[in-house]
Amino acid sequence: MGFFLETLIGGLMTGMLYSLVALGFVLIFKASGVFNFAQGAMVLFAALAMARFAEWLPALTGLDNKLITNALAFTGAMGVMIAVAWVIERFVLGRLVNQEGITLLMATLGISYFLDGAGQTLFGSAIYKIDVGMPKDPIFLFESLFQGGILISQEDVVATLIAAALVVVLSAFFQYTSTGRALRAVADDHQAAQSIGIPLNRIWVIVWSVAGFVALVAGIIWGSKLGVQFSLSLVALKALPVVILGGLTSVPGAIIGGLIIGVGEKLSEVFIGPMLGGGIEIWFAYVLALLVLFIRPQGLFGEKIIDRV
């Protein structure tokens, strides 16, 4: 029982991190109707900026306080992501208003490759380290209930709490602020939103900036765990089935979808994998998402679209 709970908790924590990346997809689609294929590249680009700024600042300023250095690096990386959001709106999306969905999808694909290349040009292509003081040592819990206790990663616990807090803040932002309501109005109909005075260009800069902030937080967490390397952008591929499962327009769906996939792949790999030769963790999420598409194409929590003719 102890081993099962250990695997279950590990899956929940991994699922929460998947959800954090999936939030970027949901935020942009919810607010602009654009499926952002560049979210993985944004995670990598933000993580590279954070890692390199934290490395450069002590050499440039003589700072030896890690907390201040990380705070300044985070501020600088966030500034970079806001600049990226402005450039995307000014030179890409602002020129593609009311175009077909496939046109916007291809535009985000181009943005993805551009960010990958720009990240390598500006920040280098080596493997970099992010150290924001997250505890690395695992701990044992419930030793009195289970023999040997349950092994828990402190880093995963902290990351999960950060992701959960971010989800709560973003949900409140969309539901209870005038900017959040404007974002949802733009997603429903660009022309109608413009006709009632909602500035489309400003709204898109805001939503891409928020998505950049989410990408930065996700990049810091994943970079702290795995190191900042160009394979980090592939983490977003695991977020795709999360979005499909939960629904492209649902913030809670992204969270629940991530938890389902995180737990499902861990349990299946540990308990079923040995019988099938392993590798279930690689394809489990995609097969589950495919099955959901057969039954409910809009996802478990997505909005059903009804076209009246």
DSSP annotation string for 61-87: H----HHHHHHHHHHHHHHHHHHHHHH
d(Cα 220, Cα 242) in Å, to the nearest integer?
A: 20
Structure tokens at 77: 């990386």
Structure tokens at 255: 């969270």
DSSP 8-state secondary structure symbol assigned to residue 279:
-
Check whether 176 has a pLDDT greater than 80. yes
Half-sphere exposure of 174 (CA within 13 A, CB side): 24
Residue 260 has a pLDDT of 92
Segment 188-230, tens digit of pLDDT: 666 676 777 777 778 778 888 988 998 899 889 888 888 888 7
Count of CB atoms situated within 10 Å of the CB of 139: 12
Q: 17 CB contacts (<8 Å, ≥6 apart)?
A: 156, 159, 160, 163, 218, 221, 222, 258, 262
Check whether 120 has a pLDDT greater than 90. no
What is the pLDDT confidence band of residue 306, given thresholds at 50, 70 and 90?
low
Out of 8-17, 195-204, 235-244, pick the least confident. 195-204
DSSP 8-state secondary structure symbol assigned to residue 42:
H
Q: Which residue type sits at 151?
A: L
Structure tokens at 145: 């209930």
Whole-structure pTM value: 0.86
